[in-house]
Structure formats: C-alpha cells, structure tokens
Amino acid sequence: MEKIIIVGAGLSGATIARMFADGGDTVTVIDKRDTIGGNVYDYVDKNGIRVQVYGPHIFHTDYEDVFEFLSRFTEWNEYEHRVLANVKGTLVPVPFNLKSLFDLYPKDKAERIKERLIAEIGEGNKVSIMQLVQNENKEIREFAQFVYNNIFYLYTKKQWGFSPSQLGKEIMNRVPVYISYEDRYFTDKYQFMPKQGFTEMVSNILRHPRIQLKLGKDAKKIISLYDGKIYLNGKEFEGTLIYTGCVDELFDYKYGVLPYRSLKFKFKTIKKESFQPAAVVNYTTSKKYTRITEFSKFTCEQTDKTDIVKEYSKRFKKGKNIPYYPIPIEKNHIHHKKYADEAKNYSNLYLLGRLAQYKYINMDDAVKNAMDLYRKLKGD
Ligand code: FAD
Ligand code: UDP
C-alpha cells in the first residue's frame, strides 16, 4: 500500500518528495502532464535554444536554505534580469527608475522631479506606485500618474482583467518605482539560471530510489474524497496525500470554480541573431500581448536564429485552458478559504503550492513552503 502520495511534479511537489525521500520515506509522485517541473518545464529546441514552455522563469531568492537545497541539484549561470518597457515606442527600464524618468521627460523637468523624489522618498529607496499616486506633493502626484498610466495601467488590465486600483497591494507592490538607477528586475541576494535548465534541475530533485514517478496520470481519476476519508482506486487511503493541483477541482467544484488567469503563448523563430535589446520587453501602452521574451538572452547564446514568445493573458475557462495565476483579491481568498476549510476535515490531506494554496508565489516560495510543510509534518 502506498503511504505518501504527492500530486504534482512541479517545484512544490518535487521538493517535498525529495525531503521525504532523503528522510527515509518512500513516496509516489503523480502528474497528469507527461513532463516534470510543472510550469518551470523547459527544453532545448531544434534551434539549440532552451525554451521555457510556460513563460519566462528566472530564479531569485533571499532564502539561504532554498538556495542551498536547489544547489544540490544544479550548477548555476549568473544571470541578473533586466526588463524594458515599451512606452509609446520608447524602451525604458522597468521597474521604473531615474533613467526611465530621464528617458521619458525633458531634461529640465526630469531634474526637478528627480530632486523632489529624492527629497520626499529618499535617494536609493523604492516606493509602490499605489503609494506614490497619493503623495502630498502635486508635482510628484503628476509624475506618479504618468508612471501609473504608462507603465502599470494597461499592462495590469491586460494581465488581470482589473485595473491596478482594483487589485490589492500584493500584486502592485511586486514592481516598485526606484529612486535610484537600479535597473535590475530583482534585488535578491541570489539571482541565477540553472546551467542545464529547470527541467534538468527538477529531474535531479526527483531522481531518488525512494521516489516513484508516475507521469500522464490524472489524480482525480484515482483519488476521491468523501466524508473525511480519502479513497484511492475505491479503497480507503490512510497514508498522507499532498496535493499541489487546483483545490476546487479536488473537491469537484462544490463551492464553485475558483477564478484564475490563463495564458496563451505564441512562439516564433526569427532568422536573426537578436530580436530585442533585453530578454523581456513589456508592452505597457500598446498591443494585446503583455510581453515578449527572447530566450537566448537568458543564456547569452549566439546563434543565427532566435526564439521569441508573445504572451497573452486570458480568462481561465475550466477544461479549456490552463490555470496559471490565482487572482489574489479579497473575495477570491474568501472563496478559496471555503475549500481550505473543507480540506481540514481530512486529517491526512495537505494543500501545497501555487494552485492548491491559491497563492501568487515565486519559485523560491514554492520550495520554501514545501520545506516548511515537510518540517511541520515531521514535528521539527
Ligand atoms: P505548478 O508548477 O503549477 O505544478 C503543479 C503540478 O501539478 C503541474 O505539473 C500539474 O500538471 C500537476 N497537477 C495539477 N492537477 C493535477 C491532477 N489532478 N493530477 C495530477 N497532476 C496534477 N517564479 C519565479 O520565481 N520567477 C519567475 O520568473 C517566474 N515566472 C513565472 C512566469 C509565469 C508565466 C508563471 C505562470 C509563473 C512564474 N513563476 C515565477 C512562478 C512559478 O512558476 C511558481 O511559483 C512555481 O512553478 C509553482 O510550482 P508549483 O509546483 O506550486 O505549481
Ligand atoms: N506590472 C505592470 N507593468 C509592468 C510590470 C508589472 O503593470 O511593466 C504589474 C502587473 O500588474 C503585473 C504585476 O505588476 O502583473 C507583477 O509583475 P511581475 O513581473 O512580478 O509579474 P510576474 O510576471 O512575475 O507574474
């Protein structure tokens, strides 16, 4: 009889599987996809370029233990992510910084705003756009409105179907405004790309004699939950079930379908060495897609061809497309809580990961949460 079942071979599922295996337990990992890694899955295509199938993923963290854990399974390439925004045809750094200011304003005015920002916010600091638009100083408020309109408004509408003011701080605080020339997208201590890609890293995490991997298997076809008991192939399952898929699906949508954002990716090979000056260009004032990613910029490979992907955000439709992003607003958290409370009726069921916990988390938090859950289960 299988004692520990983990649904999902993404970073959350793979991490906790490895923790169990290292600790001496035998686990079974099931994924409905034929691939491992969940949304971090990548592969080298016919052009010799490593392509990320579910959108651009860059590893960054401040957690020592997460970096240490993952470093057991991959070597790293140094990579600091820099993003440009296409503002009415001008490419400027995002997060918006003092260079972006000088790129978009006449020099005299930019100088004045810069001095004001330094006086009000402090040189070297960062500030959320939602705070900046409420600044007491009129000139700063006008500047903030300009940044709101040209960097945040349309991109956010495209990405979430809501305007920034309808979304919580959780989303809008992720990309601040810098009162400095800091032009990196992330400021974490560790910023790297796995040398042989994310799939290889996850494959190494899962490679352990006590981990049994079953791909192309939908857990919903073999697992059912009823009245505080979990059933596996119709028989009561008394082991531990860790679930990293959508929790509404697990409970047959008894409280309704949780809202997610889905994505559509349009990949293209371009017959030239370079397509754009940065790995990612955000389209913040035009276009239906949110951003274009050029994969060779992650690895600094020089080839005569280059692969790009245009990313379109879509409403999630159950059974029709993939749920990528939980939409972290109050009413959805309340909706999700009904499922989380339902899960508490099952003493051997644990929800983990971006989908099951309905949390807008990065890769490092996925790994961190998995490590924390393992420690909790072991009473550490
Ligand atoms: P997932 O990767 O979604 O894995 C869940 C797995 O469960 C999937 O493989 C799925 O097939 C499987 N599953 C679901 N239901 C079932 C079922 N019924 N039966 C069997 N299997 C099932 N993070 C960063 O740190 N940096 C970035 O640059 C970054 N960029 C991102 C870009 C995009 C477009 C997206 C969508 C996310 C990005 N992230 C980024 C976040 C990152 O992808 C997640 O934090 C992380 O991958 C979450 O891992 P997970 O295992 O929780 O979920
Ligand atoms: N955002 C924006 N313009 C940008 C970059 C980000 O409006 O040029 C907003 C948008 O709402 C986005 C959020 O900030 O969804 C978080 O951006 P981040 O890059 O962290 O999102 P990710 O792609 O990692 O999910």
Question: Looking at the CA of 130, which ligand is closest?
Answer: 2
Residues 299 and 237 in one domain: no
Give the number of whichever ligand sits closest to the CA of residue 309. 1
- pLDDT tens-digit series, residues 54-65: 999 999 999 999
Cα 300 to averaged position of ligand 2 atoms, centre (Å): 24
Q: Would you say the CB of residue 59 lies under 6 angstroms from ligand 2? A: no
Domain co-membership, 295 together with 332: no
Residue 165 has pLDDT above 90, yes or no: no
What's residue 184's pLDDT? 98
CB 61 within 8 A of CB 193: no
| Residue 54: domain span | 4-75+193-259+326-378
Q: Which tens digit of pLDDT belongs to each residue from 316-366?
A: 999 999 999 999 899 999 999 999 999 999 999 999 999 999 999 999 999
Between CA 255 and CA 331 the distance in angstroms is 13
Q: Are 333 and 235 within one domain?
A: yes
**Whether the CB of 66 sits within 6 Å of ligand 2:** no
Read off the DSSP letter of residue 10: B
Ligand with minimal distance to 81 CA? 1
Q: What is the DSSP letter of 136?
A: S
The end-to-end CA distance of the chain, in Å, is: 26
Q: Which residue in this structure is represented by tokens 């005299």? A: 108
The DSSP string of 28-77 is EEEESSSSSBGGG-EEE-TTS-EEETTS---EEE--HHHHHHHHTT--EE
Structure token pair of residue 111: 């100088």
For residues 52 and 168, state if they share a domain.
no
- Looking from the CA of residue 353, the nearest atom of ligand 1 is 52
Phi, psi of 329 (to 5 degrees): -120, 160
Contact 26, 212 (CB under 8 A): yes
Question: Beta strand pairing status for 90-94 and 211-215?
Answer: unpaired
Q: Tell whether 15 and 70 lie within a shared domain.
A: yes
Q: How many CB atoms lie within 10 A of CB 120?
A: 16
- Residue 141 CA to residue 149 CA, distance in Å, equals 12
Residue nearest atom 27 of ligand 1, based on CA coordinates = 57
Q: What's the total number of domains in the chain?
A: 3
pLDDT of amino acid 176: 97
Label the pairing between strands 83-87 and 90-94.
antiparallel
Same-domain check for residues 11 and 66: yes
Same domain as 88, residue 69: no
Is the pTM higher than 0.85? The answer reads: yes
Statement to judge: residues 57 and 155 lie in one domain: no
Assess if residue 186 is contained within a domain. no
Reported as a single tens digit per residue, the pLDDT across 214-268 is: 999 999 999 999 999 999 999 999 999 999 999 999 999 999 999 999 999 999 9
Residues 337-346: contacts with CB under 8 Å, at least 24 apart: 338/255, 339/247, 339/248, 339/250, 339/251, 339/255, 339/258, 340/247, 342/251, 342/254, 342/255, 343/247, 343/250, 343/251, 345/228, 346/225, 346/228, 346/229, 346/230, 346/241
Q: What's residue 303's pLDDT? A: 80
Q: Crossing angle of helices 11-22/363-377, nearest 10°?
A: 40
Q: Which atom of ligand 2 is nearest to the CA of 282?
A: 8
pLDDT, residue 168, reads 76
Average pLDDT over residues 274-284: 97
118 domain-assigned: yes
Same domain, 173 and 87: yes
With a 6 Å cutoff on the Cβ, whether 151 touches ligand 2 is yes
Q: Give the residue carrying structure tokens 């909706």.
A: 335
Backbone angles phi, psi at 309, to 5 degrees: -135, 130
CB distance 159 to 290 below 8 Å: yes
Last residue in a domain, options 153, 178, 203: 178
CATH code, domain carrying 235: 3.40.50.720
Per-residue confidence (pLDDT) for residue 2, from 0 to 100: 57
Does 1 have pLDDT greater than 50?
Answer: no
Look at residue 183 and tell me if it is in a domain.
no
The label of the residue with tokens 């007491």 reads: 136
Give 348 Cα–ligand 2 centroid separation in angstroms.
36
Tell how far the Cα of 214 is from the centroid of ligand 2, in angstroms. Answer: 34
Sort 112 into a burial class: Cβ within 10 Å, 0-12 / 13-18 / 19+.
middle
Task: Say which residues have a Cβ less than 8 Å from residue 334's Cβ, sequence separation at least 6.
Answer: none
pLDDT band at 300 (very low <50, low <70, confident <90, very high): confident
The Cα 169–Cα 172 span in angstroms is 5
In a domain, 188, yes or no: no
Residues 227, 334, single domain; the answer is: yes
Does residue 185 sit within a domain? no
High-pLDDT (> 90) share of the chain, %? 96
Last residue of a domain, one of 178, 202, 236: 178
Given a contact cutoff of 8 angstroms between Cβ atoms, the answer to whether 125 and 117 are in contact is no
Task: Assess whether the C-beta atom of 213 lies below 6 angstroms from ligand 2.
Answer: no
Boundary (domain end) residue, out of 117, 150, 178: 178
- Please indicate, yes or no, whether residues 242 and 342 belong to a single structural domain of this protein: yes
Q: Is 39 touching ligand 2 by the criterion CB < 6 Å?
A: no
Question: Cβ contacts of residue 36 below 8 Å, gap of 6+?
Answer: 9, 14, 199, 202, 203, 206, 213, 215
The pLDDT assigned to 251 comes to 98
Residue 237 lies in a domain: yes
pLDDT value at residue 106: 98
Residue whose CA is at the smallest distance from ligand 1 atom 46:
363
User: Does a structural domain hold residue 281?
Assistant: no
Name the β-bridge partners of 190: 61
Distance CA 310, CA 294 (A): 9
When the pLDDT of each residue in the chain is averaged and rounded to a whole number, the result is 96
Among the ranges given (31-40, 127-136, 200-209, 296-305), the one the predictor scored with the smallest mean pLDDT: 296-305
pLDDT at 133: 95
Q: Which two tokens stand for residue 129?
A: 């756009």
Task: Please check whether residue 243 lies inside any domain of the structure.
Answer: yes
Looking at all shown ligands, the one closest to residue 224's CA atom is 1
Q: Are 164 and 295 in a shared domain? A: no
